[in-house]
A = this chain, B = another copy of it.
Amino acid sequence: MSGLERFSLNQWTVRQWSLPELVAGCAAAGVRAVGLWREPVREYGVEAAARLVRGAGLTVSSLCRGGFLTAADAPGRERALAGNRAAVEEAAALGAAALVLVAGGLPAGSRDLPGARERLADALAELGPYAAGYGVRLAIEPLHPMFASDRCVVSTLGQALDLAERFPAGQVGVVVDTYHLWWDDAVGRELVRAGEGGRIAAFQLADWITPLPEGVLLGRGQLGEGCVDLRWFRERVEAAGYAGAAEAEIFSPSLWAREGAEVLAETLDRYRTHVL
């Protein structure tokens, strides 16, 4: 047992790698799954990417990402829905276990959080059946509350579940990402709830370190570098019945500045030490 049966490498952790480099690097390291991003996949060609990944014996634990479904104007809403339908089709082509959805932030000038959240729910009512038709499961990802205004109006696991539970579990699940959820004193009981409803569609790993950089997007920590009890999360999602991948998704310019293979080897080492 290598201990890596459930490990997945999210493409953005090694952004310096092209898609072929990612696939070759993962195969060489004994990694069995990857999390992919739409932009590099489309650049390479969706069908070609699917063949490449499948040919190397890799599965796709998630496709990042759809969402951004909070526009208040009709043209903005239509554009977002069309983009998400395309994302569903790409996820289907890749055989991705989940299409990650990031809610979107407040429209410019708006102070109406409840309204933005309702528009997201309306969009899910349209996209859920569409995705199910392609065999794709949508996964709402709550992001850390520091992103609530400009990126994601869904900030906690409880809130993501409130939203997901309006729809069949096969259509809409949630993403459990340690970086976004670690601070929440309610996350333990919400993980139980997520498990009971069969709602955990993806599990992502990154550590929390400070100081946060300007813009706060690219300051994630390598596994074990920060203060998140990653093992606690892994045990809780497993206890909740989740049997999918544990995907390392670390946005960090200091990782991107290094050799991809070295970053992957370090990440696997940290995964064994701090997650397993």
- A220 sits at the interface (CB 8 A): no
Judge whether B210 and A211 touch: CB under 8 Å: no
- Which residues 104-161 in A have Cβ within 8 Å of B in the complex? 106, 110-114, 117, 144-146, 148-150, 155-156, 158-159
Measured CB to CB, the closest approach of chain B to A166, in angstroms, equals 14
Q: Which residues of B contact A158 (CB under 8 A)?
A: 186
Chain B: CB-nearest residue to A183? B148
Judge whether B185 and A159 touch: CB under 8 Å: yes
Query: Interface size on A (CB < 8 Å)?
Result: 35
CA distance A14 to B15 in the complex (A): 43
CA distance A229 to B148 in the complex (A): 14
Judge whether B149 and A146 touch: CB under 8 Å: no
Contact of A227 among B110, B186, B210 (CB under 8 A): B110
Q: Quick one: given A155-B185, A185-B156, are A210 and B150 in contact (CB under 8 Å)?
A: yes
Judge whether A212 and B214 touch: CB under 8 Å: yes
Q: Which residues of B contact A9 (CB under 8 A)?
A: none
Judge whether A146 and B212 touch: CB under 8 Å: yes
Q: Hey, what's the 0/1 contact readout for A227-250 against B, CB within 8 Å counting as 1? A: 111000000000000000000000
Measured CB to CB, the closest approach of chain B to A189, in angstroms, equals 12
Judge whether A216 and B212 touch: CB under 8 Å: yes
Q: Which residues of B contact A182 (CB under 8 A)?
A: 113, 148
- A208 sits at the interface (CB 8 A): yes
- Excluding A145-B184, A148-B183, A155-B185, 13 further A-B contacts by CB distance (< 8 Å) are A112-B229, A113-B182, A117-B185, A144-B146, A145-B183, A146-B212, A150-B210, A150-B211, A156-B184, A210-B215, A212-B212, A212-B215, A213-B214
Q: Which residues of A contact B (CB under 8 A)?
A: 106, 110-114, 117, 144-146, 148-150, 155-156, 158-159, 162, 182-186, 208, 210-216, 226-229
A-B contact pairs, 18 of them (CB 8 A): A111-B227, A111-B228, A144-B146, A145-B184, A146-B146, A149-B210, A149-B226, A149-B227, A155-B183, A155-B184, A155-B185, A158-B186, A159-B185, A210-B215, A212-B212, A212-B215, A214-B214, A216-B216
Q: Which 9 A-B pairs have the closest CB atoms?
A: A148-B183, A146-B146, A145-B183, A111-B229, A214-B214, A211-B215, A150-B210, A149-B227, A145-B145
